[in-house]
Structure 1
Amino acid sequence: MCAGREMMFHKSSESIHMEKAYEAFRAVIRALVGGEETEAPLCGVDVAGQFRPDDPSPDAALRNLNAAFLIVQAGAAHPLYARAEAFIFGEGKSGGTDAAAFYRDGISLVRSEIEERCEEDRGFFEKLSGLARWLGSPENRDRRREAAVRIREIFFPEGIGIPEDRDRLVAKFREKRSVRIERLNPDPIRNPAEEILWTSNVLLTVPAAGKDVDGLAVPETVREELRRAAEAPQRYWYDHPMPVGVAPEQNELLYGLRGLDRAVAFEKARGTVPGDAKLSCLLSISVTHEGLQDPAGACLQEMVRHGPRWRHLRVWALSETDCSRITREVLLPAVRHYPGCGDGESLHAIIGVDGEYGRHYSFLKAVSAFWQVFMDPRVRATFKIDLDQVFPQDLLVKETGASAFQHLCTPLWGALGRDREGERVELGMIAGALVNQKDAARSLFTPDVGYPEDDIRGDEWIFQSRLPQALSTEFEMMTRYGKGALDGKTRCLQRVHVTGGTCGILVDSLRRFRPFTPGFIGRAEDQAYLLAGLYRRHAGKLLRYVHKDGLIMRHDKEGFAADAVKSAVTGKELGDYIRILLFSLYAGALPWPSSRIKAATDPFTGCFISAIPHTLVYLRLALRASVLFGEGKGARAVELIETGSRRLHTLVRDFKRHPDLLRHRYVFEKKGWDCYYRILDQAEKGLARGEPFSLDLRRKAMKILDACELRL
Structure 2
Amino acid sequence: MGEVVNNLINILAENLLGENEFENINKEQSDIKKFILSMLFLPNEKYKEEAKKILIELGRKEDFRRYIKYFEKVFDKVSNELERNCSNWESRFDRLETVKDKKKEISSWFFPENTLDIDEETIKNIRDSRRVQIIKFNDNAIKNPFKQILFTSNILLTMPKDFNKLPKEFADKLDKQEEQEYWFDHPIPLDIEDSSNEIIYGLSNLNKAVKIETEEKLNVVLCVSCTHPSIKKIAKEYIKSKLKNLDLSSLNIYIFTEDDTKKIIKEIFEPILGKDSDKIKSLYSTFGVDGNYGRHYSFLKAIASLWNVLIDENIIATYKIDLDQVFPQKRIYKETGSFSFEKLKNSRWGAIGKDKSGNTVKLGMVAGALVNDKDFDKSIYEPDVKKPSEHYTLDQYIFNSHRPQYISTIAEMGTLYKTSEECIMRFHVTGGMNGILVEDLNKFRPFTPRFITRAEDQAYIISTLYDEKDGMYLRCYHQDHFIMRHDKETFLCEDLKEFEIPKHVGDYERIMLFSHYANDILKDFDRIKKAIYPFTGCFITQIPYTITCFRALFKAYELAKENERDAKIFLDNIVNRMPKVYEKIESGYYLRQYNEDKEAWNIYYDILANKKTSDYKDIAWEIVKDCKVN
Shorter-chain TM-score bucket reads over 0.9
Shift of 1:304: 0.4
Shift of 1:102: 1.0
Shift of 1:530: 0.9
Match of residue 551 from structure 1: 482
Alignment of 1:571-590 (within 5 A): 571-590=502-521
Paired amino acid for 1:525: E
The reply to whether residue 130 of structure 1 matches residue 82 of structure 2 is: no
Say whether the 8 Å CA contact 1:287–1:293 is kept in structure 2.
Answer: yes
Q: Kindly tell me: are residues 530 and 152 of structure 1, through their superposed partners in 2, closer, same or farther at Cα, counting changes over 3 Å?
A: same
Shift of 1:173: 0.7
Structure 2 residue aligned with 1:252, among 186, 191, 198? 198
Q: Kindly tell me: are residues 24 and 681 of structure 1, through their superposed partners in 2, closer, same or farther at Cα, counting changes over 3 Å?
A: same
Match of residue 422 from structure 1: 358
Could you tell me how far apart the structure 1 residues matched to 2:53 and 2:624 are?
Answer: 61
Match of residue 229 from structure 1: 175
Q: Kindly tell me: are residues 28 and 212 of structure 1, through their superposed partners in 2, closer, same or farther at Cα, counting changes over 3 Å?
A: same
Match of residue 65 from structure 1: 35
Shift of 1:63: 4.4
Could you tell me how far apart the structure 2 residues matched to 1:614 and 1:467 are?
Answer: 21
SS in 2 for 1:492: coil
Shift of 1:251: 1.2
Q: Kindly tell me: are residues 159 and 256 of structure 1, through their superposed partners in 2, closer, same or farther at Cα, counting changes over 3 Å?
A: same
SS in 2 for 1:480: coil
The reply to whether residue 402 of structure 1 matches residue 357 of structure 2 is: no
Could you tell me how far apart the structure 1 residues matched to 2:464 and 2:521 are?
Answer: 9
Residues 676-712 of structure 1, C-alpha deviations (whole Å, 9 max, x = no match): 1111111xx126xxxxxx53x322222222111112x
Match of residue 178 from structure 1: 131
Say whether the 8 Å CA contact 2:202–2:323 is kept in structure 1.
Answer: yes
Paired amino acid for 1:26: I
Say whether the 8 Å CA contact 1:230–1:289 is kept in structure 2.
Answer: no
Shift of 1:546: 0.3
Could you tell me how far apart the structure 1 residues matched to 2:60 and 2:550 are?
Answer: 20
Match of residue 193 from structure 1: 146
Match of residue 159 from structure 1: 114
Shift of 1:561: 3.9
Residues 500-541 of structure 1, C-alpha deviations (whole Å, 9 max, x = no match): 001000011011100000010011100000111110011011
Say whether the 8 Å CA contact 2:164–2:171 is kept in structure 1.
Answer: no
Structure 2 residue aligned with 1:686, among 597, 606, 612? 612
Could you tell me how far apart the structure 1 residues matched to 2:130 and 2:506 are?
Answer: 27
Could you tell me how far apart the structure 2 residues matched to 1:698 and 1:223 are?
Answer: 38
Shift of 1:450: 1.6
The reply to whether residue 241 of structure 1 matches residue 160 of structure 2 is: no
Match of residue 208 from structure 1: 161
Residues 589-622 of structure 1, C-alpha deviations (whole Å, 9 max, x = no match): 3434211110111100000001111111011111
TM-score when normalising by structure 2: 0.95
Say whether the 8 Å CA contact 2:15–2:103 is kept in structure 1.
Answer: no
Say whether the 8 Å CA contact 2:369–2:484 is kept in structure 1.
Answer: yes
Say whether the 8 Å CA contact 2:584–2:590 is kept in structure 1.
Answer: no
Alignment of 1:19-418 (within 5 A): 19=3, 22=5, 24-37=7-20, 46=21, 49=24, 60=31, 62-72=32-42, 75-77=43-45, 79-85=46-52, 88=55, 92=59, 94-96=61-63, 97-119=65-87, 125=88, 128-134=90-96, 137=97, 140-141=98-99, 143=100, 146-163=101-118, 166-214=119-167, 220=169, 222-225=170-173, 228-268=174-214, 275=215, 277-306=216-245, 308-336=246-274, 343-418=279-354
Which moves more between the two structures, 253-262 or 25-34? 25-34
Instruction: Determine which structure has more spread, i.e. the larger CA radius of gyration.
Output: 1
Could you tell me how far apart the structure 1 residues matched to 2:66 and 2:271 are?
Answer: 45
Residues 38-72 of structure 1, C-alpha deviations (whole Å, 9 max, x = no match): xxxxxxxx3664578xx8x8x63x54433332223
Number of residue pairs matched?
628
Q: Which runs of 4+ in 1 moved over 6 A?
A: none
Could you tell me how far apart the structure 2 residues matched to 1:417 and 1:320 are?
Answer: 39
Match of residue 644 from structure 1: 574
Say whether the 8 Å CA contact 1:24–1:129 is kept in structure 2.
Answer: no
Say whether the 8 Å CA contact 2:408–2:535 is kept in structure 1.
Answer: yes
Say whether the 8 Å CA contact 1:297–1:317 is kept in structure 2.
Answer: yes
Paired amino acid for 2:241: E
The reply to whether residue 700 of structure 1 matches residue 626 of structure 2 is: no
Q: Kindly tell me: are residues 264 and 118 of structure 1, through their superposed partners in 2, closer, same or farther at Cα, counting changes over 3 Å?
A: same
Say whether the 8 Å CA contact 1:22–1:115 is kept in structure 2.
Answer: no
Say whether the 8 Å CA contact 1:458–1:623 is kept in structure 2.
Answer: yes
SS in 1 for 2:172: helix
Paired amino acid for 1:207: P
Say whether the 8 Å CA contact 1:236–1:288 is kept in structure 2.
Answer: yes
Say whether the 8 Å CA contact 1:557–1:565 is kept in structure 2.
Answer: no
Match of residue 384 from structure 2: 448
Say whether the 8 Å CA contact 1:329–1:700 is kept in structure 2.
Answer: yes
Residues 329-381 of structure 1, C-alpha deviations (whole Å, 9 max, x = no match): 222222228x9x97232111111112111111111001111111111111000
Say whether the 8 Å CA contact 1:260–1:391 is kept in structure 2.
Answer: yes
Q: Kindly tell me: are residues 569 and 246 of structure 1, through their superposed partners in 2, closer, same or farther at Cα, counting changes over 3 Å?
A: closer
Match of residue 457 from structure 2: 526
Could you tell me how far apart the structure 1 residues matched to 2:602 and 2:24 are?
Answer: 56
Q: Kindly tell me: are residues 579 and 601 of structure 1, through their superposed partners in 2, closer, same or farther at Cα, counting changes over 3 Å?
A: same
Could you tell me how far apart the structure 2 residues matched to 1:515 and 1:86 are?
Answer: 54
Q: Kindly tell me: are residues 408 and 24 of structure 1, through their superposed partners in 2, closer, same or farther at Cα, counting changes over 3 Å?
A: same
CA RMSD between the two structures: 2.2
Q: Percent identity?
A: 35
Shift of 1:33: 4.1
Say whether the 8 Å CA contact 2:207–2:247 is kept in structure 1.
Answer: no
SS in 1 for 2:222: strand
TM-score when normalising by structure 1: 0.84
Residues 472-525 of structure 1, C-alpha deviations (whole Å, 9 max, x = no match): 00000000000xxxx341x31000000000100001101110000001001110
Say whether the 8 Å CA contact 2:196–2:490 is kept in structure 1.
Answer: no
Say whether the 8 Å CA contact 1:188–1:410 is kept in structure 2.
Answer: yes
Match of residue 396 from structure 2: 460
Please, which runs of 5 or more residues in structure 1 have no aligned partner? 1-17, 38-45, 120-124, 269-274, 688-693
Residues 183-212 of structure 1, C-alpha deviations (whole Å, 9 max, x = no match): 111111011111000000001122332533
Match of residue 499 from structure 2: 568
Residues 253-288 of structure 1, C-alpha deviations (whole Å, 9 max, x = no match): 1111111111111112xxxxxx3x211101011111
Paired amino acid for 1:109: K
Could you tell me how far apart the structure 1 residues matched to 2:256 and 2:335 are?
Answer: 37
Shift of 1:327: 1.9
Shift of 1:238: 1.3
Say whether the 8 Å CA contact 1:185–1:414 is kept in structure 2.
Answer: yes
Paired amino acid for 2:147: E
Q: Kindly tell me: are residues 372 and 48 of structure 1, through their superposed partners in 2, closer, same or farther at Cα, counting changes over 3 Å?
A: farther
Could you tell me how far apart the structure 1 residues matched to 2:326 and 2:543 are?
Answer: 39
SS in 2 for 1:382: strand
Structure 2 residue aligned with 1:501, among 432, 443, 452? 432
